[in-house]
Structure 1
Amino acid sequence: MKRKQGPDCWIFRWRETDASGKRVRRKVVLGTVEKYPTESSAIRAAESLRITINEEQPRFPQQPVSVAALITHFKQHELGAMQEDDEGRAYSTRIVYKDFLRLYVEPKWGDAGLREVRAVAVEKWLRTLPIAKGTKSKVRNIMSVLFNHAIRHEFLPQNSNPISMVRQSAKRKSIPDILDVAELVALFEELSRRERVMVLLDALTGLRRGELMALKWKDANLEELELAVTRSIYRQVVGPCKTEASMKPVPLDPWIAEELLTWRRASPYNQPEDWIFASTRKKGKQPYSPDAILKRCIRPAATRAKITKRIGWHTFRRTFSTLLKANGEDVKVIQELLRHASAKITLDVYAQAVTPDKRRAQSKVAEMLRAGRGMAEKCLLDPSGPSAISKEVVSD
């Protein structure tokens, strides 16, 4: 639509039934030609608007819409800007969803109608993607969330999510590395004070990297030896923690409390509202980037310590959980320390590594077998030996 004043704009017109049962005309400005420079971009915006309009009139059957239009609707309603007291998905989760939809789902399925997506076709497509199984599983799960959104908004009938029948394993090709005590000590020796406190705090609390970098001095109660975990940060955007279970306080060992106190005295940003690991480059307004610290400081220190394992921030969380289990700690205690939503997640985490207690348990069984084998050999060499035992075993 051309205007006498201001930029030209796109108008969306439709008909609907009002409260009296009459068919009436409606229209709304979609946006200017600057916002939607092409007709196709305006049509995509109109499709999303049409979905919303149809939602308000559920008595009439929904018209088929494309996966691309559904993605637009999903982003607007589920992945928008974080609001205060927002109980929806964490900011990091929203970014991951947007990236996966943009990189994988929309290029392949954007033009398809919702009812045209079939489980077998999606399964075959996932097999062709040159990405890790865990990433494929995440693509599959995000597609399932997308179609559940369609069902919830009545674009599809109940129990019609095609992704529910898609099989996709998340099994890793290799087991993630963990560090043993000697390797941790060697790493500490190679780190400067700032990075040493970071790694020590992470290795003794199992904090996620976003939680670690989002800590402020007011969160550390060094007298009561307790750490409040109330926020997380991702790409310098602060938001809530991953789950409700994640927002539980964490105990502080006196050793790490002393290290934190020493670091606070040395840091130029040591007021209650300051970040514990405030970036000097950003003049304390933001915490350090965990990726930058890992790349520039921690991994080079690991190389100097002759540690050949691939280290990431999650390595310290996995190491913490594995060492807890190796010490014979109860699963419930480990779950609460890691702030997992369920014990199953905890079991999956610490069961991945070959730990000393696993070796001891296996050695006990091996010793029993060796003892049994020695007794059997003795019976064969000495016919006057305890033949009754061998007969009893055979009779079973």
Structure 2
Amino acid sequence: MPRNEVSLQALTGGVILKRRVQHPMVHERKDRGSYYWFFRYYAHEIQRDGSVKTTRKFYTIGPSRGDDAIGKRQAEIERDKFLAKLNAPTTEEATQQALTTGIALFAEVAKMYEEGYLGRERQISKPTRVKEQFYLDNYLVPRWGKLRLNEIKPKAVEDWLHTTFNAWWTMHGVRAIMSRIFYYAEGHGLWEEGKRSPASKAKLGKKRYKNERRILSFDETARVLTHLEEPNKLVIETCIATGARISEVLGLKWKHVNLDAATIKIERRVWQQDVGRPKSEDSRRVLGIGNLVERFRQKAAEDRAKPEAWVFHQKRDKTRPMWDSGVRDALHQAAAAEECDFPGLGLHSFRRANITWRQEVGGSAIEASKIAGHSDLEMTSEYTFVAPERQNELTRRIQEKLANAAAKSTKTATESAPTAEPPPPATAPTSTPEAPPSLLDGVPVTTLIQ
């Protein structure tokens, strides 16, 4: 936390606050239809130009009469509690107290963030430091540096992000850097504790991607591999088999390869020839290489491998690891030869492919996440692709189960239906026997009426 007067003035852009101690008297108001205790005090507000605007304000303590009334002594105690947040016996305390309201300049806090958080080389990897420094120098400080923290509004940040950057993930990353600066300010007493930063309130909208989200199919990958030569082919096949980042594969030394167990141990990474720790603690892991173990065994024999030697070294200097740019160029040339190159295709595409395929062949999302070195399943879901072929495969399985169920239902209904009785066998018609002659035959009708 800044202590000396020079650093305090630098943070505030030259604002100098005088010490102030207020102790106004508590009065009872009786002329407004109700009775209550009150006092008046002076409030100091930092203006954008660095000047201090002083305003006299009115503060109501509580009722002086009635059921909830408090005595004057209690009213004075409440007054002292309120003024304890405003009174500053020294100039330093006055300035420090004002700093918690966010009057520090964004540029000064960003400088503290660079020298503090980004300066921890053992905790922050070089790629992260370089990336954040780039956005600080070229975007964040030029746009927001002259403003005080409390002058930066969420709507302004949101509009700036959407008009400055095209990619959703870039907006997400820049907003995260800005939020960390406010969080850093909070930790140093320059921002109100627990108060959300304006950057965190900026809305990015629906997640979108600059390039088409896709990976090579199994067939396309197999055809691309036929165009690759060693050691590029083994590098890419290792990325495919393990899901490791290219920086992690190029960071392998032979001491990290266990040929008996068919595993590699991720302990280092190489980024633009800078050798350092992996991206995160979760990235330090042991990965299986499966059937590639024989290829590694052959390479170890050819290289007369020693524990401290690089597995994938430069052709002209075996003491240095390969550049990833050469592997990328070879990949694009091979993909172009098979007419399956596309914007966004890169070595990281095989990391996404591994995570996707690992789940397709029966692995769980948790297993894929642990193997990938992700800290949570949400990131793993971002890497998982459901190709149309996989969708059709799953759809056909559903349709097959539905068809089997329908066939089973029809069969059951047929078996359980009642059987109709067969009709009686047909017989030859029989002649009706003639009735015996009636006694009335031949009697006239008139005779019968009589």
For normalisation by structure 1, the TM-score amounts to 0.73
In the alignment, the residues of structure 2 paired with residue 132 and residue 162 of structure 1 have an alpha-carbon distance, to the nearest angstrom, of: 21
Among candidates 239, 242, 265, match of residue 301 of structure 2: 265
Question: Which residue is equivalent to 1:75?
Answer: 114
User: Which position in structure 2 is the counterpart of 1:207?
Assistant: 244
Find the counterpart in structure 2 of residue 216 from structure 1. 253
The root-mean-square deviation of aligned C-alpha atoms, in Å, is 3.1
Decide which of 372, 378, 390 is 1:344's aligned counterpart: 378
State the distance in 1 between where 2:139 and 2:4 align.
Answer: 36
Q: Tell me the residue number matched to 1:359.
A: 392
Tell me the residue number matched to 1:6: none
1:292 is displaced (CA, Å) by 3.1
Higher helix content, 1 or 2? 1
Asked if residue 234 in structure 1 is aligned to residue 268 in structure 2, the reply is: no
Residue 76 of structure 1, CA deviation:
0.3
Distance 2:259 2:12 in 1: 52
Q: Decide which moves more: 195-204 or 361-370.
A: 361-370
- For residues 149-160 of structure 1, the aligned pairs below 5 Å read 149-160=184-195
Structure 2 residue corresponding to 1:148, chosen from 183, 187, 201? 183
Secondary structure of 2:314's aligned partner: coil
What SS does structure 2 have at the residue aligned with 1:190? coil
Can you give the 5+ residue segments of structure 2 that lack an aligned partner in the other structure? 15-91, 407-450
* Structure 1 range deviating more: 335-344 or 219-228: 335-344
Q: CA deviation at 1:48?
A: 10
Taking the TM superposition and a 5 Å limit, the aligned residue runs for 1:192-203 are 192-203=229-240
Question: What does 1:274-353 align with in structure 2 at a 5 Å threshold?
Answer: 274-281=309-316, 283-295=317-329, 297-310=330-343, 311-350=345-384, 352-353=385-386
Shift, 1:89, TM fit: 2.4
Give the TM-score, by structure 2 length: 0.65
Are the aligned partners of 1:197 and 1:263 in contact in 2 as well (CA < 8 Å)? no
Letter in 1 for 2:185: A
Equivalents in 1 of 2:156, 2:327: separation in Å? 42
Query: For 1:300-336, what per-residue CA distance to the aligned partner results, in whole angstroms no more than 9, with x for missing partners?
Result: 1222233233420111101111111221222222122
In 2: Cα distance, 1:319 partner to 1:61 partner: 53
Deviation string 1:78-117 (CA, Å, 9 cap, x unpaired) is 11152xxx3x222211111111112221121111111111
- Between the aligned residues of both structures, percent identity stands at 23
Secondary structure of the equivalent of 1:193?
coil
Which residue in 2 is equivalent to 1:3? none
Residue identity in the other structure for 1:262: Q
The 1:150/1:223 distance shift into structure 2, 3 A limit, reads same
Q: Secondary structure at the match of 1:242?
A: coil
Give the whole-Å Cα distance in 1 for the aligned partners of 2:395 and 2:229. 39
Q: Where does 1:102-141 land on structure 2 (aligned, <5 Å)?
A: 102-141=137-176
CA separation of 1:272 and 1:58: change in aligned 2, threshold 3 A: farther
Cα separation, 2, equivalents of 1:173 and 1:369: 39
When Rg is computed on C-alpha atoms for both structures, the one with the higher figure is 2
Secondary structure of residue in 2 paired with 1:185: helix
Query: Are the structure 2 counterparts of residues 15 and 312 from structure 1 closer, same or farther at C-alpha, using a change threshold of 3 Å?
Result: closer
Counterpart CA distance in 1 for 2:116 and 2:188 is 11
Query: Do 2:175 and 2:200's aligned partners in 1 also have CA atoms closer than 8 Å?
Result: no
| CA distance in 1: counterparts of 2:4 and 2:266, whole angstroms | 52
Q: Is the 8 A contact 1:219 1:227 kept in 2?
A: yes
Aligned to 2:129: 94
- Report what 2:104 is aligned to: 65
Conservation of the 8 A alpha-carbon contact between 1:178 and 1:353: no
8 Å contact from structure 2 (residues 223, 338) kept in 1: yes
Distance 1:290 1:48, change over 3 A: farther
**Structure 1, unaligned runs of 5 or more:** 1-13, 17-26, 29-42, 51-56, 374-396
- Counterpart of 2:275 in 1: which secondary structure? strand
